[in-house]
Structure 1
Amino acid sequence: MTKVVLLAGGKGSRLNDINPKPLVRLGEMPLVQHVMNSYNYFGYDEFILATGHRHGDFEEYFNSIRLPYAVRLINTGEDANTGERINRIRFEVEGHPFCLSYSDGLSDVNLADVEHSFHADKSSPDLLITAVHPPERYGLMVLEENEEKTSPIKTFNEKPQRDDWINGGFMVCSPNIFDYIEKNDSFEGDSIPRIVLHQKMVGYKHLGNWGSIDTQKDLNIFMDLWNSGNAFWANGGNNL
């Protein structure tokens, strides 16, 4: 089964300083475990966490629980950018496609179909990104208009000026992805524009539910959904 790499090195300072952001609790488990459970629902059972900030907290947590899937922790550095973190797990996935995601985004997207669409796309992309309609504060993508499930990405801007398709995470990478990542890169701000320039990136259009937990307000909203039994991301959502 394809490996899943999760970027889990951030500090999450807008939430609290008690835990690394991926370990902030949403109900009975941390955010990153919700993301892994979503993947596991679709059969993924091997995860690599690219940690950094307070790596020891991850070791302590995952050594204390049993999970139905394998979790490998790789300390990619306290202050590394996202591109650096991806480069530092290269030896774990080299030569094979892999899934890539953040540790704070939740969705009811069919993750198995996301990967299937990557392999089925006739343009042989090096990166597929799940594109969603969001609040304005995320990186903006302009997709080529067509009726297909995936579309070539024409531009990618980290700071959007309007509401449109944005990077929802839940990505699939070819082994060539490392060719686009240079030293000290932000994956979103530096590497992705290179991939777009080479016309090797597509967007998987997801019209369902999606959200990212960046602030205490976000966390409260998701906590209400979880506690009320309306967690759209749990058990694969409604996209089977």
Structure 2
Amino acid sequence: MMIYSFYGFNDFIICLGYKGDMIKNYFYNYDCLNNDFTVNFQNKKIEYHTDNNETNWKVTLVDTGINTLKGGRIKRIEKYLDSEINMLTYGDGVGNIDIKELLKFHQSHNKIVTITGVYPPSLFGEILEEDEKVVSFKEKPQTSKGLINGGFMVFNRKMLGYFTEDENCDFEFGGLEKLVREGQVMVYKHQGPWACVDTQRDLEYLNKLWEPK
């Protein structure tokens, strides 16, 4: 969400499922969980001491079902979408994608969907050697063996007609496949860093990168 906010996009809709109540509680108590604050017991007022940039965020939390697949979740938030062009991402991918350039690319080709293609990092570190002497070691370098869907997507409202609210309605294996067959999906190639959080180790590694130097 901070990636999108950095580029000026601050209106969010979150599709809730498993443990959605925890996410609701987090955002409901967002100010006190993320800031220092002063409680004035005389007038019952709370003053938050913050330099966060989330004050202009609008976050809509929608219960889309515990077992609902992604296509069904997207369809179930349709009534909350008020734009012809919308953005979509997963909650486990991060990267230095230029969101404004991504949007500009989408607007240039007149197709229904744009996905961001990324080169995934290797599952293992890479050793570079010369004459059996290690000259370099790279932790999880990016591969160049093929693009994968990096998550950051843009779609026209027309895409929603390819999905239903049925909990078994998938996104990639269903509506998106049909859109591909119809030639309605374009790829924005991102050459920079990208990573996803699949394990606790991934989370710790990315949090360390996020910390101010």
TM-score bucket of the superposed structures, by smaller chain: 0.7 to 0.9
Query: TM-score, length-normalised on structure 1?
Result: 0.66
Q: Are the counterparts in 2 of residues 101 and 170 from structure 1 also a CA contact under 8 Å?
A: yes
Aligned equivalent of 2:189? 205
Residue 41 in 1 paired to residue 29 in 2? no
1:177 to 149, 159, 162: 159
Residue 115 in 1 paired to residue 80 in 2? no
Aligned equivalent of 1:131? 117
The more displaced of 173-182 and 39-48 is: 173-182
Letter in 1 for 2:2: N
Shift of the alpha carbon at 1:94?
5.6
CA distance in 1, matches of 2:70, 2:174: 10
1:99 to 75, 80, 87: 87
Shift of the alpha carbon at 1:224?
2.6
What is the CA deviation profile of residues 69-104 of structure 1, one whole-angstrom value per residue up to 9, with x for unaligned ones?
A: 111100000110000000100111166210000111
2:204 to 200, 216, 220: 220
Residues 65 and 94 of structure 1: CA distance in aligned 2, closer, same or farther (over 3 Å): closer
CA distance in 1, matches of 2:82, 2:69: 20
CA distance in 2, matches of 1:99, 1:136: 27
Three-state SS of the structure 2 residue aligned to 1:72 is strand
Three-state SS of the structure 2 residue aligned to 1:130 is strand
Residues 225 and 76 of structure 1: CA distance in aligned 2, closer, same or farther (over 3 Å): same
What is the CA deviation profile of residues 52-80 of structure 1, one whole-angstrom value per residue up to 9, with x for unaligned ones?
A: 11121111100112432111100000110
Q: Structure 1, unaligned stretches of length 5 or more?
A: 1-35, 138-161, 230-240
- Rg larger in structure: 2
CA distance in 2, matches of 1:186, 1:179: 13
Q: Compute the RMSD of aligned alpha carbons.
A: 1.8
CA distance in 2, matches of 1:136, 1:173: 29
CA distance in 2, matches of 1:41, 1:224: 20
CA distance in 2, matches of 1:185, 1:71: 25
Query: TM-score, length-normalised on structure 2?
Result: 0.74
Residue 167 in 1 paired to residue 135 in 2? no
What is the CA deviation profile of residues 37-64 of structure 1, one whole-angstrom value per residue up to 9, with x for unaligned ones?
A: 1100100010000111112111110011
CA distance in 2, matches of 1:221, 1:136: 14
Kindly, what percent of the aligned residue pairs are identical? 30
Q: Are the counterparts in 1 of residues 12 and 59 from structure 2 also a CA contact under 8 Å?
A: yes
What is the CA deviation profile of residues 185-230 of structure 1, one whole-angstrom value per residue up to 9, with x for unaligned ones?
A: 220222211110010000001000101101112112212312463x
Letter in 1 for 2:72: E
Q: Are the counterparts in 1 of residues 116 and 149 from structure 2 also a CA contact under 8 Å?
A: yes
Residue 51 in 1 paired to residue 16 in 2? yes
Work out the number of aligned pairs and report it. 168
Runs of 4+ displaced beyond 2 Å: 226-229
CA distance in 1, matches of 2:122, 2:71: 23
Residue 72 in 1 paired to residue 63 in 2? no
Q: Structure 2, unaligned stretches of length 5 or more?
A: 32-53, 124-143
